Chains A and B, each alone.
Chain A
Amino acid sequence: MIGSVFAKTLYDKRYFTLGWTIALGAIAALMVAFYPAMHQDGSIDALVKSMPPAFQGLVGSLSDLTQFDTYIAAQLFDIRLPLIAGIMSIILGLGLSVSDEEKGELRTLLSLPISRSKLFIQRWLALLLILAITLVGLVAGMYAVMPFIEEADIDIDVLARLLGMTGLMMVTYGTIPFAVGIATGKRAAATAVSIAVIIGSFLLSTFASAVDWLKDYEPLSLLHYFPAVDIVRDGIQWSDVMVLGSITVVLLVLALVAFRRRDIA
């Protein structure tokens, strides 16, 4: 039986969760499968070296391709996941905040003995669990292919660090539309802020290495706090965790205060 907002949210989002879990798993599997080609084929090195510096930022560092853990950190966690999982997190955050209100279902839920705080917290916890499930899909995709790929091996501690920080980044990405959406009830505002953050972060981090005047602004990018290759080599910087965690907590607190007071359309 569906007895809570948390369970209902998971049930409502079951196809979304399944679809994105499979999608992230497939992307991870593909990236692992490409490792031999990237690792052994010198022509890719030559191709990347011939690119302008800004484009090299899109491809990642060549030195990262020599080891599987840095390869997967750079090519999957550093370049592709922030964009793909970021988009997924935004869609999810919007779905859990403004969609019900637009359909009129939020009023129906709030006509029951369910407090706004309880609804808010259970929805956000559902967001957390759905993102965690998709990350399980990602790991499953990697491990499904790794046994067939020579030298494709990653230390479990390294993987745990990468997943932990990826999860935190996805939670921050998902919390932005969730918080703006639930605080305002406006899809346009939530979408605009989220896209500005994700695309802005991606562009800023990608081009900062090549454009001098952008370097000073690079800490404004959320990706600045998710240096995947450095996480593999040097471990997690707790200052990065603090920044992403603080953004998430502050957004949640502000959104909860606003949601408890505002009119529901």
Chain B
Amino acid sequence: MNTASIIRLSGVTKQFGKFRAVSNMTLEIEPGQVVGFVGANGAGKTTTISMLLGFLGTSQGEIELFGETILPSNAHMAHRQIGYAAGDMELPGQLTGAQYLAFLRHQRKSGSDEQYQALLKRFSPQLNKKISALSRGNKQKIALVAAFVGEPDLVVLDEPTSGLDPVMQDAFLDLVRGYKQSGKTIFMSSHYLQEVMDVCDRVILMSHGKVVEDVQTSQLLAMGGKHVSILTGYKATKPPKAAESIEVSEDRGVLRLEFVYKSDMAELQRWVAAVKQLHDIEISEYNLEEAFKSLYQTEETA
């Protein structure tokens, strides 16, 4: 194990009665990494983050943050260096945004006024209204300012952009890119795979409480390709050798052949030219969103 890891989970399991939300999870995250944490609803992402922050204790295994074992009773020690925001986060409704951020800055006791002002300028949150009177998006802006204020060494984000408009989503992603440049660590769960691909160095896919993929973003980018769909009257048509995720169906004597193609494009062109009785053809980008959906589905059916 790398002792320099900022986050380390060793055989972590979380059981709620008979339901095992996280099962024997082991992973390490080094300082300076921006890690995306993805998975379908109920995969165990939020439970993992809740254990990381000490809201939940582990049923088995050990969690270390900054080299210290984390328990519900001592998690606050690590929180001096951690910023946190969640899409469904409930901020203290009785306070105004300004009061909450002042309270938080007082607790965290770090960070410059310049950085705070820059965050306010970036997100333009409504600070003078009671938080309970704000829309979800406006609450989320305050939560994001709160997560990054004081420049914590680790920022943990649980679906941070849900509720944000596209402009604010861009502002957030821009902030993450800048934060990454400063060598800080971000651990971020998201359903928006494109944003994960945009800013993360590494992607961890979770399913049914287990890590099923842990890859560098560059490896995932290689998963891109073309989605090909043809309609042909020649029922003996075979897909090219490099085709993946092949689906074949037939309707009123017409064969529908769909597949993903990531190999040589000239080869694909030659294959298309050779298809007999071609009725229709559609070739589109096979983006990473689709690649992930197929991974989700593979895991769901497994």
Q: Which of B54, B57, B72, B92 contacts A108 (CB 8 A)?
A: B92
Q: Does B103 lie within 8 Å of A2, measured CB to CB?
A: yes
Decide: A2 near B90, CB < 8 A? Known: A112-B104, A261-B73.
no
A27 to B56: give the CA distance in the assembly, Å: 45
**In chain A between 109 and 144, which residues have their CB closer than 8 angstroms to a CB of chain B?**
109-118
The reply on B241 being an interface residue by CB < 8 A is no
A-B contact pairs, 18 of them (CB 8 A): A1-B102, A2-B103, A8-B95, A11-B95, A110-B54, A111-B53, A111-B79, A112-B104, A113-B107, A114-B79, A115-B73, A115-B74, A115-B76, A118-B76, A260-B73, A263-B72, A264-B56, A264-B72
The reply on B294 being an interface residue by CB < 8 A is no
Decide: A105 near B106, CB < 8 A? Known: A116-B73, A263-B72.
no
Give chain A residues whose Cβ lies under 8 Å from the Cβ of B91: 105, 108
Give chain B residues whose Cβ lies under 8 Å from the Cβ of A117: 73
Q: Which of B72, B90, B104 contacts A103 (CB 8 A)?
A: B90
Q: Does B76 lie within 8 Å of A2, measured CB to CB?
A: no
A104 to B87: give the CA distance in the assembly, Å: 12
Residue of B nearest to A264 (CB): B55
Residue of A nearest to B74 (CB): A115
Q: Report which A residues bind B (CB closer than 8 A).
A: 1-3, 8, 11-12, 103-105, 107-118, 260-264
B19 to chain A, nearest CB (A): 13
The reply on B33 being an interface residue by CB < 8 A is no
The reply on B173 being an interface residue by CB < 8 A is no
Greatest chain B CB density within 10 A among A2, A117, A118 is at A2
A185 to B177: give the CA distance in the assembly, Å: 39
Q: Does A3 lie within 8 Å of B103, measured CB to CB?
A: yes
Q: Chain B: interface residue count, which band?
A: 20 to 34
A110 to B107: give the CA distance in the assembly, Å: 11
B139 to chain A, nearest CB (A): 11
A12 to chain B, nearest CB (A): 5
Give chain A residues whose Cβ lies under 8 Å from the Cβ of B56: 263-264
A118 to B79: give the CA distance in the assembly, Å: 14
- 18 further interface pairs, Cβ-Cβ under 8 Å (given A110-B76, A112-B104, A262-B72): A1-B102, A2-B102, A3-B103, A3-B106, A11-B94, A12-B94, A103-B90, A104-B90, A107-B50, A111-B79, A113-B76, A113-B107, A115-B73, A115-B76, A116-B73, A263-B56, A263-B72, A264-B50
10 nearest interchain CB pairs? A104-B90, A111-B84, A260-B73, A115-B76, A3-B106, A113-B79, A113-B80, A264-B55, A12-B94, A263-B56
Give chain A residues whose Cβ lies under 8 Å from the Cβ of B103: 1-3, 8
The reply on B108 being an interface residue by CB < 8 A is yes
Greatest chain B CB density within 10 A among A1, A2, A113, A117 is at A113
Q: Does A105 lie within 8 Å of B57, measured CB to CB?
A: no
A261 to chain B, nearest CB (A): 6
Give chain A residues whose Cβ lies under 8 Å from the Cβ of B204: none
The reply on B75 being an interface residue by CB < 8 A is yes
Q: Does A114 lie within 8 Å of B107, measured CB to CB?
A: yes
Q: Does A103 lie within 8 Å of B55, measured CB to CB?
A: no
The reply on B126 being an interface residue by CB < 8 A is no
**In chain B between 50 and 74, which residues have their CB closer than 8 angstroms to a CB of chain A?**
50, 53-57, 72-74
The reply on B183 being an interface residue by CB < 8 A is no
Give chain A residues whose Cβ lies under 8 Å from the Cβ of B55: 107, 110-111, 263-264
Give chain B residues whose Cβ lies under 8 Å from the Cβ of A112: 76, 79, 104, 107-108
Residue of B nearest to A115 (CB): B76
The reply on B289 being an interface residue by CB < 8 A is no
B112 to chain A, nearest CB (A): 18
